[in-house]
Amino acid sequence: MRHFDHIDTADRKHLFYRQPRRFDRHADPEVLAVALGATLYSPATRPTLADDVTKAHRRGVISMVICLEDSIGDADVSAAEANAVEHLRRVHAAGSDAPLLFVRVRTPEQIGDLAARLGDAVELVSGFVLPKFTAANGEAFLDALGETAERTGRRLLAMPVIESREAVYRETRAELLQDVALLLAKHRERILAVRLGATDMSSAYGLRRPPDLTIYDIQPVAGVIADVVNILGRADGTGFVVTGPVWEYFSAGERMFKPQLRQSPFEAQRAAPLRQRLITSDLDGLIREVHLDKANGLTGKTVIHPSHVAAVHALSVVTHEEYCDAADILGVAGGGAMASSYANKMNEAGPHRAWAERLMLRAHVFGVAAEDVTFVELLDAAGGR
């Protein structure tokens, strides 16, 4: 699979200075963690789940989670399990292309049970999402994952979700995150990425952010995200990829604030109608939040509608300027400072090296935009219209 493979070859040649590279579900977890991009969540009760999976792949979705937890009612768990097994087996039998697929479970016992019921179709599953993850319950989840991987002979990866009340409340947060860091280090080879459950975090305070604001405007939750990155997302070799929290809006309501997209980039590309559609769908808020995710050390994002995917992926492409800066930084041994190739900033080989290394990994899977190509063109080509 490859990002932007769903768009025309000639368009890709125009858009990219360096093309996104191919990878598969057996690639190094370090690559897959960055390649997740916009991870599309779908309730396991969907009656068209098999079609949803194959259609999502054709639309450029690279990772997808089939949810057996908060997105379905307690009374529907058994039916949801049966539905997920039936539709995944259908996708497997048809030999259909599919994104990287993960199942969000409720209990450790579901991991082995679902794998057994899937039979050969378990090869479609890249791993499991572990909800409300703490050091207290996480060992059981990770042990079940390891036992299932050994029994099936398949590599199964974990994505724990930080969203419990102990992780949210200040008096318990630091100790919990430090304990989680020790547990994840023990099982490092199985941890793909750490996810953030912003909906549950907000719920701890009785909050829900409106579409006009980003999660970083909700200060109690922003503080949790900062601490998660601080402890679990470090660039010293101990950290993990931490993914951006869910964007949960997909239709417009009454707006209180002005749109968050400047007109000039769209006017330059003669894409004013695209800008208006983004605003009407409240995707201008998503775009701003993805910018802030990246600035705060998060990679990829949880989304709940296919219309969100193109924006997240377009913003994940490395710009030509970023690539030049990273290449200059990594090309210097022994430290020192230099003017950037674009002559608009100072690059320091020492302090900026970790940033450059991470950026080059993103360039590997999302590509590098051509020098004159903007986010607007990438979004348009990826499906923004």
According to the model, what pLDDT value does residue 385 have?
44
CATH number of the domain that 160 lies in?
3.20.20.60
> Do 118 and 149 sit in the same domain of this protein?
yes
Q: Is 282 annotated as a binding residue?
A: no
3-state secondary structure of 290: helix
246-271 pLDDT, tens digit per residue, is 998 876 555 545 555 556 565 555 55
* Residue 26 domain-assigned (yes or no): no
Give residue 347's pLDDT band: very low, low, confident or very high (50, 70, 90): very high
Across all residues in the chain, what is the average pLDDT? 92
Q: What is the mean pLDDT of residues 350-365?
A: 97
pTM over 0.85: yes
According to the model, what pLDDT value does residue 121 have?
98
Q: What is the mean pLDDT of residues 369-385?
A: 85
Direct distance between the N- and C-terminal alpha carbons of the chain, in angstroms, rounded to an integer: 23
According to the model, what pLDDT value does residue 296 have?
97
3-state secondary structure of 317: coil
Q: What is the mean pLDDT of residues 313-331?
A: 96
* Residue 175 domain-assigned (yes or no): yes
> Do 221 and 306 sit in the same domain of this protein?
yes
> Do 164 and 269 sit in the same domain of this protein?
yes
Give residue 211's pLDDT band: very low, low, confident or very high (50, 70, 90): confident
Nearest-angstrom CA–CA distance, 95 and 98: 9
According to the model, what pLDDT value does residue 375 have?
87
Pairing, β 157-162 against β 125-130: parallel
Give residue 212's pLDDT band: very low, low, confident or very high (50, 70, 90): confident
The pLDDT of residue 144 is above 60: yes
Parent domain of 374:
7-19+317-380
Q: What is the mean pLDDT of residues 325-351?
A: 92
According to the model, what pLDDT value does residue 269 have?
57
8 A C-beta contact, residue 360 and residue 309 = no
Q: Residue 175, Cβ neighbours under 10 Å: how many? A: 11
* Residue 28 domain-assigned (yes or no): no
According to the model, what pLDDT value does residue 376 have?
87
What is the domain count for the chain?
2
279-301 pLDDT, tens digit per residue, is 545 678 898 999 999 999 999 99
The pLDDT of residue 73 is above 50: yes
- Cα 50 → chain centroid: 22
The candidate with the shortest Cα–Cα distance to 317, out of 30, 38, 56, is 38
Q: What is the DSSP letter of 307?
A: G
> In Å, how far are 282, 312, 323 from 270, measured between CA atoms?
20, 21, 26
> Do 86 and 168 sit in the same domain of this protein?
yes
Nearest-angstrom CA–CA distance, 5 and 21: 10
According to the model, what pLDDT value does residue 380 have?
86
